[in-house]
């Protein structure tokens, strides 16, 4: 019974502006391809910490070094506490170093804490059933310290008992050496931690959640439209804004929850986990590394300028020496001296020495993996492009709108200003301002974004001005003014939505040009360098033709991104162009 | 017509003043006082005057370059026609030895590091290099893109047209500096080894005969010109195709076809002429690049042109060079806009002069 009414609704539905635009865009294969590629590029940037990181997702490990050190220190610490307790306050004060004002209470407390610290370390890794022993020892320690602080004089026996118990614990808690299990000992239990997630900031998590929504949009959008909205186009149209709001609210909520629970932040660009695991300082019972277990700032001195590992010139022998090319170790012809070289070390979690996936895009001057740096660098480049474009469209639209709407001398003044700014070679002007900005006062990334927007707004302003000049005498604007709406309301609620199309198109091109500008700036040495690289600054790592991989791959990433943005902008322009619509119909 | 041109030229004057004001303000607002910067260069080697103490030398430097005057006087010194330095016009307390200076007097000052090199002369030398490269590039661009644009507009909707469009799109999206690097990789010693990649001539070019030198220069120019050209070629071809498609839809083209004219005559005689108008006027927007050169391309190929000069000025923190090159290329752009408007008015009778 519901069928006929649904059909009636379908028939009564009149397409709105965005319906037509999306219909036009849907016909363009290249546009769809470009959108998908862009979504993936952005995903790789947003999820870079999850894809390429030198921190493991999960680490269940025993800090053997720390444990044995605690075990060694436990007995002396207990001994020392016993000594102070036995001594009593008067003797302590008489014996303490001259001029010291370290009181008896403090001294006891300090000794107590020393024992507790060792016990804490032991308890972290000891099996659960053994922890009771440690707790008992802890209780005894506390009791002794409390009595000493209360001024109890006769503590000699208790101190002796504590010492003996500490000795017992020391002998009983000898760890099982994983390399020599036959020697026996206590099988230690690893402590579970999540180093990678602990290094993810709340704002990073926000974008991760947001991007998860965007990537799965085709799926959940369809489900919501069919199931919740019953496939009715009127309702689907009305649901556009609530959907967007829902996605944003959920992402922000996720961010706040993350801040409250994990509260992660990356204090250091590199983490010691891989080195410690490789050298055996800590022993993992369970460890999960990300797909690419390399940090963006993780260096490897012996593996500098290594070509892509799938390439023949990167081949190493089992000792870690180059097999081909100029870097094969050569013995001195006269002395026969073979220069010692540090062989390449394969750290825990990394791919094999000659595996193609070890450094698919090679390494830079200090052995940092180029693929990883490319992934992380995308965050900077893409962000610069996007933010500068947003800012530029905003500035240009406001100024252009004011000029076009008010006309008269305001228009004259703004037009002159636009003309003056247009006269300068934009790139050099940006270069000049960025070069003169003190990086210690304004971070280069912010300087670049702001300067790009401040120099390049003129194009958008001219466009907006033209649109406003065209629209301001149309009936609906005249009607709005006749109704007594304020200028602001007329501009933003009535004219701007109708002028949005061309501005969006110029925004898409502005992102592309922002990425290009930033990379060119970095290439000339005035861009972003540390700690997270940008695509442009990656290319500058080497100008030598020997290191072709350093120049080829980051440039290619820029090229693909710019190409996609140009395709998207072009498709949008065609979709918004009334001439093309006539053709399509 | 003449009055139109005259009015346009008069309108340029406030814009020119605005340009000089912007350049002046940017440089003066920039952190790092020129005197302090010069102190750092070669341990103040460029500051030979004044007493023995650092402050004396800095003061002497500032006095000599009129940096101790108030901003208004400094701006006047930049625009001219008065020289406000100590040896300048008497009105500004100078000795009157060299009363004129500034832009209006054609004086751009000297370089700070090589203080005997007038910037104007150096600019002229650099302009020659840049003009050579960019003229060749512009000519090639037009020679290629007009036929290509017409071709793909006529073949609109075919596979050839689609292929051309895609290739142009790819070219259009390649970052300039990357294109230069890739060309160097491909054709330089590390790749095919066919072409020299740096500079404008070989090291031993001084011993070459005329033809050999010409050949050498030609070889050196191929890669920079290619890097200069591919982007504008892609852009112009797309414009040409769009313009041509606009024209082909017009009624008079239909009329021409209805008259029974051959497709060749319709396209080449009726359509091409009208579609050329926007493309020809685009030449004006090319002019500033023609004169200003591309910082990036000249940096990649190590060409001593205008763009490289501006970049060097930036690296050396030589405010005279920066001001001169920026003002110069801004004026060139202004001139380009003027020429484009005049050309438009000349070729398109529908444009009114009012």
Neighbouring residues of A143: CB distance < 8 A, sequence distance ≥ 6: A158
Q: What proportion of chain B, given as a percentage, has pLDDT over 70?
A: 89
Put simply, the answer to whether A422 touches B333 (Cβ < 8 Å) is yes
And the tokens for A475?
Answer: 């009936």
Question: Quick one: which of A437, A460, A492 has its CA closest to A389?
Answer: A460
CA within 13 Å, CB half, A571: 21
Q: Output the pLDDT for position A581.
A: 45
How far apart, in whole angstroms, are the C-alpha atoms of residue A89 and residue A473?
Answer: 95
Q: What is the pLDDT of residues A226-241, one digit of tens each?
A: 888 887 888 888 888 8
**B95 against A389, higher pLDDT:** A389
Q: Output the pLDDT for position A39.
A: 93
**Contact with chain A for residue B329, Cβ under 8 A:** yes
How far apart, in whole angstroms, are the C-alpha atoms of residue B252 and residue A45?
Answer: 53
Contact B295, A524 (CB under 8 A): yes
Q: What is the pLDDT of residues A529-543, one digit of tens each?
A: 667 788 988 888 887
CA within 13 Å, CB half, A501: 17
* DSSP helix/strand/coil, B281: helix
- How does DSSP classify residue A182? G
- How does DSSP classify residue A308? P
- How does DSSP classify residue A369? B
Q: Output the pLDDT for position A322.
A: 79
Q: Select from B14, B32, B330 the Cβ nearest to the Cβ of A424.
A: B330
Neighbouring residues of A24: CB distance < 8 A, sequence distance ≥ 6: A574, A575, A580, A581, A584
Contact A68, A185 (CB under 8 A): no
- How does DSSP classify residue A16? -
Q: Select from A427, A433, A545 the Cβ nearest to the Cβ of B185.
A: A545
Checking if the pLDDT of A46 tops 90, the result is yes
The residues that bridge with B311 in the sheet, in sequence order, are none
Q: What proportion of chain A, given as a percentage, has pLDDT over 90?
A: 19
Q: Output the pLDDT for position B191.
A: 75
H helices, E strands: number in chain A: 24, 3
Question: Quick one: which of A377, A417, A364 has its CA closest to A536?
Answer: A377
- Phi, psi of A186, rounded to the nearest 5 degrees: -85, 125
Q: What is the pLDDT of residues A106-119, one digit of tens each?
A: 888 888 999 999 99
Q: How confident is the model at residue A50 (pLDDT cuts 50, 70, 90)?
A: very high
How far apart, in whole angstroms, are the C-alpha atoms of residue A412 and residue B33?
Answer: 36
Q: Output the pLDDT for position A11.
A: 55
Question: Quick one: which of B162, B198, B167 has its CA closest to B181?
Answer: B198
How far apart, in whole angstroms, are the C-alpha atoms of residue A300 and residue A365?
Answer: 9
**Strand-by-strand arrangement of the A191-193 sheet:** A191-193, A58-62, A283-288
ipTM of the complex: 0.85
The residues that bridge with A283 in the sheet, in sequence order, are A62
Contact B321, B313 (CB under 8 A): yes
Q: Output the pLDDT for position A38.
A: 93
Q: Which residues of chain B are within 8 Å of residue A519 when distances are taken between CB atoms?
A: 175, 177
How many residue contacts between A and B have a Cβ separation below 8 Å? 111
Environment class of B208 (CB within 10 Å of its CB; exposed 0-12, middle 13-18, buried 19+): middle
Query: Dihedral sign, CA of B115, B118, B122, B127?
Result: positive
Question: Quick one: which of B28, B311, B341 has its CA closest to B177?
Answer: B311
The residues that bridge with A175 in the sheet, in sequence order, are A186
Checking if the pLDDT of B229 tops 50, the result is yes
Contact A456, A433 (CB under 8 A): no
Q: Output the pLDDT for position B51.
A: 63
Checking if the pLDDT of B271 tops 70, the result is yes
Q: Select from A420, A546, A551 the Cβ nearest to the Cβ of B22.
A: A420
Q: Output the pLDDT for position B293.
A: 64
Task: Report the first-to-last Cα separation within chain B, whole angstroms.
Answer: 10
**What is the average per-residue pLDDT within B318-326?**
86
How far apart, in whole angstroms, are the C-alpha atoms of residue A68 and residue A188?
Answer: 11
Domain ranges of chain B: 34-118, 120-347
Q: What is the pLDDT of residues A278-306, one digit of tens each?
A: 888 888 888 889 998 888 888 887 788 88
- How does DSSP classify residue A352? P
The alpha carbon of A284 is separated from its chain's Cα centroid by a whole number of angstroms, namely: 26
Q: Output the pLDDT for position A247.
A: 94
And the tokens for A228?
Answer: 């919740």
Fold of B120-347: MetI-like fold (1.10.3720)
Q: Do you know the residue count of chain B?
A: 354
Q: Select from A416, A539, A566 the Cβ nearest to the Cβ of B15.
A: A416
> How close, in Å, is residue B305 to chain A by CA atoms?
14
How far apart, in whole angstroms, are the C-alpha atoms of residue A491 and residue A488?
Answer: 5
How far apart, in whole angstroms, are the C-alpha atoms of residue A60 and residue A174?
Answer: 20
**What is the average per-residue pLDDT within A188-210?**
89
- How does DSSP classify residue B42? G
Mean pLDDT of chain B, nearest integer: 81
Residue B96 backbone class (left: φ over 0; alpha: ψ -120 to 50; beta: rest): left
Q: Output the pLDDT for position A3.
A: 47
Checking if the pLDDT of A96 tops 60, the result is yes
Q: Output the pLDDT for position A582.
A: 41
Q: Output the pLDDT for position A515.
A: 92
For helices B2-29 and A408-423, the axis angle rounded to 10 degrees is: 70
How far apart, in whole angstroms, are the C-alpha atoms of residue A281 and residue A273?
Answer: 10
Q: Which residues of chain A are within 8 Å of residue B173 when distances are taken between CB atoms?
A: 512, 559, 562-563, 566
CA within 13 Å, CB half, A88: 8
Q: Output the pLDDT for position A432.
A: 85
- Lowest-confidence range among A71-85, A570-584, B83-97, B118-132? A570-584
Q: Output the pLDDT for position A1.
A: 41
How far apart, in whole angstroms, are the C-alpha atoms of residue B186 and residue B204?
Answer: 24
Query: What residue has token string 């009114």?
Result: B352
And the tokens for B349?
Answer: 């009778």
Distances A266 to A254, A262, A269, A426, A442 between C-alpha atoms, Å: 19, 12, 7, 36, 21
Checking if the pLDDT of B97 tops 80, the result is no
How far apart, in whole angstroms, are the C-alpha atoms of residue B187 and residue B202?
Answer: 16
> How close, in Å, is residue B207 to chain A by CA atoms?
29
**B33 against A417, higher pLDDT:** A417
Question: Quick one: which of A209, A194, A202 has its CA closest to A259?
Answer: A202
Q: How confident is the model at residue A371 (pLDDT cuts 50, 70, 90)?
A: very high
Q: Which residues of chain A are within 8 Å of residue B337 when distances are taken between CB atoms?
A: 419, 423
The alpha carbon of A489 is separated from its chain's Cα centroid by a whole number of angstroms, namely: 39
Residue A212 CB neighbours (<10 A): 17
Q: Select from B31, B177, B182 the Cβ nearest to the Cβ of A523.
A: B177
Environment class of A263 (CB within 10 Å of its CB; exposed 0-12, middle 13-18, buried 19+): exposed
The alpha carbon of B310 is separated from its chain's Cα centroid by a whole number of angstroms, namely: 11
Query: What residue has token string 């698919």?
Result: A360
And the tokens for B176?
Answer: 């300039």
**Greatest mean pLDDT among A4-13, A191-200, B79-88:** A191-200
And the tokens for A189?
Answer: 């239990």
Residues 141-180 of B with CB under 8 A from A: 169-170, 172-178
Put simply, the answer to whether A524 touches B191 (Cβ < 8 Å) is no
Question: Quick one: which of B109, B172, B179, B163 has its CA closest to B325?
Answer: B109
Distances B188 to A326, A542, A544, B194 between C-alpha atoms, Å: 19, 16, 11, 6
Q: How confident is the model at residue A341 (pLDDT cuts 50, 70, 90)?
A: low
And the tokens for A485?
Answer: 């709406």
Q: What is the secondary structure of B248-280 as a DSSP string?
A: HTSHHHHHHHHTT--HHHIIIIIIHHHHHHHHH
Which of A381, A417, A423, A458 would best serve as a mutation to test chain B binding (most B beta carbons within 10 A)? A423
Q: What proportion of chain A, given as a percentage, has pLDDT over 70?
A: 95
Residue A213 CB neighbours (<10 A): 17
How far apart, in whole angstroms, are the C-alpha atoms of residue B31 and residue B209?
Answer: 50
Task: Report the first-to-last Cα separation within chain A, whole angstroms.
Answer: 34
Q: Which residues of chain A are within 8 Å of residue B326 when distances are taken between CB atoms?
A: 424-425, 428-429, 432
Checking if the pLDDT of A273 tops 80, the result is yes
Put simply, the answer to whether A423 touches B188 (Cβ < 8 Å) is no
**A485 against B116, higher pLDDT:** A485
* DSSP helix/strand/coil, A175: strand
Q: Output the pLDDT for position A579.
A: 53
Question: Quick one: which of B314, B315, B293 has its CA closest to B304?
Answer: B293
Mean pLDDT of chain A, nearest integer: 84
Contact A175, A185 (CB under 8 A): yes
Contact A112, A141 (CB under 8 A): yes
Q: Select from B14, B30, B289 the Cβ nearest to the Cβ of A416.
A: B14
Q: What is the pLDDT of residues B156-209, one digit of tens each?
A: 888 888 899 889 989 989 998 899 999 988 888 877 878 887 777 777 767 777
């Amino acid at each position: 019974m519901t069928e006929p009414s649904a059909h009636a609704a379908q028939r009564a539905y009149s397409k709105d502006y965005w319906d037509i635009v999306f219909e036009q865009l849907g016909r363009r294969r290249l546009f769809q391809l470009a959108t998908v590629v862009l979504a993936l590029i952005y995903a790789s940037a947003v999820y870079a910490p999850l894809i390429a990181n030198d921190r493991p997702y999960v680490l269940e490990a025993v800090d053997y070094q720390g444990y044995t050190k605690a075990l060694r220190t436990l007995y002396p610490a207990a001994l020392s506490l016993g000594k102070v307790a036995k001594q009593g306050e008067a003797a302590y004060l008489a014996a303490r170093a001259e001029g010291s004002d370290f009181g008896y209470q403090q001294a006891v407390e300090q000794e107590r804490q020393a024992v507790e610290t060792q016990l804490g370390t032991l308890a972290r890794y000891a099996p659960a059933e053994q922890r009771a022993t440690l707790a008992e020892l802890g209780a005894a320690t506390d009791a002794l310290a409390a009595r000493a602080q209360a001024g109890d004089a006769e503590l000699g026996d208790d101190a002796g008992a504590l010492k003996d118990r500490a000795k017992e614990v020391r002998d009983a808690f000898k760890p099982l050496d994983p390399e020599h299990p036959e020697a026996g000992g206590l099988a230690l239990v690893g402590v579970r931690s999540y180093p990678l997630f602990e290094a993810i900031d709340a704002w990073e998590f926000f974008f991760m959640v947001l991007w998860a929504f965007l990537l799965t949009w085709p799926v959940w959008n369809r489900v919501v439209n069919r199931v919740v909205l019953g496939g009715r186009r009127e309702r689907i149209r009305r649901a556009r804004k609530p959907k967007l709001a829902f996605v944003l609210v959920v992402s922000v909520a996720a961010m706040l929850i993350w801040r409250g629970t994990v509260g992660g932040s990356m204090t250091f660009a590199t983490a010691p986990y891989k080195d410690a695991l490789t050298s055996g300082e800590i022993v993992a019972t369970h460890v999960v590394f990300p797909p690419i277990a390399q940090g963006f700032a993780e260096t490897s001195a012996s593996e500098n300028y290594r070509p892509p590992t799938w390439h023949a010139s990167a081949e190493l022998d089992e000792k870690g020496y180059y097999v081909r090319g100029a870097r094969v170790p050569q013995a001195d012809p006269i002395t026969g001296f073979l220069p010692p070289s540090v062989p390449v070390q394969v750290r825990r979690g990394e791919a094999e020495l000659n595996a193609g996936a070890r450094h698919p895009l090679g390494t830079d001057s200090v052995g940092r993996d180029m693929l990883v740096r490319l992934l992380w660098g995308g965050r900077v480049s893409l962000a610069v492009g996007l933010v500068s474009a947003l800012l530029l469209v905003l500035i240009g639209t406001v100024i252009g709108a004011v000029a076009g709407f008010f006309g008269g001398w305001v228009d004259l003044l703004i037009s002159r200003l636009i003309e003056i700014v247009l006269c300068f070679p934009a790139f050099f002007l940006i270069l000049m301002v960025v070069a003169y900005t003190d990086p210690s006062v304004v971070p280069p990334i912010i300087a670049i974004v702001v300067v790009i927007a401040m120099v390049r707004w003129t194009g958008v302003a001219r466009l907006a001005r033209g649109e406003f000049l065209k629209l301001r005498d149309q009936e609906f604007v005249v009607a709005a003014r006749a109704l007594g709406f304020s200028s602001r309301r007329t501009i933003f609620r009535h004219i701007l939505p109708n002028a949005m199309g061309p501005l969006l198109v110029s925004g898409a091109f502005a992102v592309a040009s922002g990425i290009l500008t930033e990379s060119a700036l970095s290439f000339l040495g005035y861009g972003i360098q540390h700690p997270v690289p940008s695509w442009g600054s990656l290319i500058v790592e080497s100008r030598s033709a020997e290191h072709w991989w350093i120049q080829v791959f980051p440039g290619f990433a820029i090229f693909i991104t710019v190409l996609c943005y140009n395709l998207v902008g072009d498709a949008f322009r065609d979709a918004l162009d009334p001439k093309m619509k006539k053709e399509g119909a | 017509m003449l009055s139109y041109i005259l009015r346009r030229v008069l309108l340029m004057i406030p814009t020119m003043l605005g340009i000089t004001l912007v350049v002046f303000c940017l440089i003066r607002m920039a952190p790092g006082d020129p005197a302090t910067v010069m102190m750092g260069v070669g341990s103040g080697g460029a500051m030979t005057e004044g007493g023995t103490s650092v402050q004396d030398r800095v003061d002497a430097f500032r006095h000599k370059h009129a940096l101790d005057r108030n901003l208004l006087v400094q701006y006047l010194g930049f625009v001219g026609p008065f020289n406000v330095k100590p040896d300048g016009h008497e009105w500004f307390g100078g000795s009157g030895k060299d009363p004129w200076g500034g832009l209006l007097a054609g004086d751009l000052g000297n370089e700070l590091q090589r203080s005997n090199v007038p910037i104007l002369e150096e600019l002229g030398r650099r302009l020659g290099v840049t003009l050579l490269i960019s003229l060749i590039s512009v000519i090639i661009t037009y020679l290629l893109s007009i036929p290509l644009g017409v071709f793909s507009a006529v073949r609109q909707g075919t596979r050839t047209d689609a292929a051309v469009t895609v290739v142009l799109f790819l070219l259009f999206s390649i970052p300039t500096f990357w294109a230069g690097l890739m060309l160097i990789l491909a054709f330089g010693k590390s790749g095919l080894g066919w072409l020299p990649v740096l500079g404008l001539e070989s090291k031993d070019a001084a011993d070459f005969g005329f033809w050999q030198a010409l050949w050498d220069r030609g070889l050196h120019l191929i890669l920079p010109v290619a890097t200069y050209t591919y982007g504008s070629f892609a852009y112009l071809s797309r414009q040409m195709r769009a313009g041509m498609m606009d024209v082909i839809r017009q009624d008079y083209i239909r009329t021409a076809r209805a008259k029974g004219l051959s497709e060749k005559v319709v396209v080449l005689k009726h359509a091409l002429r009208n579609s050329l108008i926007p493309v020809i006027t685009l030449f004006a927007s090319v002019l500033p690049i023609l004169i200003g050169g591309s910082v990036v391309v000249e940096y990649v190929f190590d060409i001593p042109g205008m763009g490289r000069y501006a970049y060097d000025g930036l690296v050396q923190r030589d405010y005279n060079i920066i001001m001169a090159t920026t003002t110069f290329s801004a004026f060139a752009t202004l001139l380009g806009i003027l020429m484009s408007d005049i050309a438009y008015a000349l070729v398109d009778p529908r444009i009114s002069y009012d």
